[in-house]
Every structure is written in C-alpha cells, then in structure tokens.
Chain A
C-alpha cells in the first residue's frame, strides 16, 4: 500500500527566505507526483506536476524535484513571501493504487511572516 509522508508538518520562516518542503513515498512505481497548495477552507490549487520520467519542474519561484528510485520529492520555494502562507500537499499517482488515484501526504503548513 502506497504511503506518502511530508516533513516538516509545519514551518515558520521570515519573509525572503528560501525554503524546502519534503515528500517521501513508499512505492517507487509511480506515474507522477503533484504538488498542491491549499488555503484555509478552500480547494486545492495544482502547483507542479512531475511525470515519473522527469527529474524536476519549475514554475516561477517554485522548483520541484523527483528522485523516484529513492521515493523522494522536494519543493523549493525561493524568496518566500507572506502570500505563500498556506498548506502544501504532495500526492502520487500509481504505486499499486487504483488507476488514476492520488495518494496524499498530510501536508506541510507554511507560515511566512513579514
């Protein structure tokens, strides 16, 4: 059974810092990995999708890497801003799960203070 773990559970940083969020998964036979952002009481916003054959994806100040063989992904946020405060979730598709199903980690709550 695929399991996804995110570390740390919460992170508080001052504005302007670069930071890294970690995601690990137990079954490396994944199709892809997605990073999402969730604001309180809202739905999920897709940030980056990395296919299993890719090593990284970039969008603006965000960079996500994938090491499938070791079961790890990182989300790098450059020059953090208070508007980046949210919960960040990673999810994997595949790894012995139902077709198309995403298995989610429990998220990292990020607070960026001015």
Chain B
C-alpha cells in the first residue's frame, strides 16, 4: 500500500530530552512537511522540504530540527529548547509545487511528562 507512515503513535518525553519523530512515505513525493496541531489553534507549519538535502523553516521552527537525507524520509527532532512540545504532530507529502495536493500521515502524539 502506498502512503505515509509515522512512528511512534504515542511518545512521552521527559524534561530536557530530545526526541525524534519518524515520517516515511512511499509515494515518490518530492515535498514533505511537518505540522503541529494544538486544540483550538488548527495546524501550523514547522518545517518543509521541497527536495532531498534541502529544507526551510515554517512558522514555528524554534526548538525543532529536521533532516532530509533520503527522498522517502523526513524525521523531526523535538529538542529541549522547545518549551511547550506537547501536541499532535502530523507529517505530509506532495508531488511538489504549490499546486499539488498534500497527503497526511496518521500522526504522533507527543506528551511531556
């Protein structure tokens, strides 16, 4: 089946820890995105990548980092610098270009203990 997978489904982080969220796609899409969803605030863009080895900051990149070493993978690291990381994280991909439809993964719920 073609699609986007995210792991883990649930993740718990202690104060001061870095954690990495996985996002993999087998759709052969060039562009990938990370969004954060908080109750009552909708989805906000963290980082996006239009092509391998290139990525740009979104609206709320502080405290996060990404890499794009392979076309199918776009992991997100939530660092200790992110002061309020508890949220639902969604990864998306598209063929590329502003006109293309974005497809989303099932999400990872991160909770800070």
Given contacts A99-B50, A102-B102, A104-B42, contact A43 B96 (CB under 8 A): no
Question: Would you call B27 an interface residue if the criterion is a C-beta within 8 Å of the partner chain's C-beta atoms?
Answer: no
Determine the distance from Cα of A107 to Cα of B101 in the docked complex, in whole angstroms.
18
B97 — nearest CB in chain A belongs to which residue? A100
Choice from B44, B96, B101 contacting A49 with Cβ under 8 Å = B101
Number of B positions contacting A (CB below 8 A): 31
Tell me if A's interface is mostly helix, strand, loop or mixed: strand
Number of A positions contacting B (CB below 8 A): 26
Question: Would you call B105 an interface residue if the criterion is a C-beta within 8 Å of the partner chain's C-beta atoms?
Answer: yes
Question: Would you call A31 an interface residue if the criterion is a C-beta within 8 Å of the partner chain's C-beta atoms?
Answer: yes
Question: Would you call B84 an interface residue if the criterion is a C-beta within 8 Å of the partner chain's C-beta atoms?
Answer: no
Residues of B within 8 A of A106 (CB): 40-42
Tell me if B's interface is mostly helix, strand, loop or mixed: strand
Question: Would you call A21 an interface residue if the criterion is a C-beta within 8 Å of the partner chain's C-beta atoms?
Answer: no
Question: Would you call B85 an interface residue if the criterion is a C-beta within 8 Å of the partner chain's C-beta atoms?
Answer: no
Choice from A4, A43, A45, A100 contacting B50 with Cβ under 8 Å = A100
Question: Would you call B48 an interface residue if the criterion is a C-beta within 8 Å of the partner chain's C-beta atoms?
Answer: yes
Contact B98 A94, beta carbon cutoff 8 Å: yes
Residues of B within 8 A of A104 (CB): 42-44
Residues of B within 8 A of A105 (CB): 42
Contact A42 B99, beta carbon cutoff 8 Å: no
Contact B33 A100, beta carbon cutoff 8 Å: yes
Within 8 A of A (CB), among B78-113: 90, 92, 94, 96-107, 109
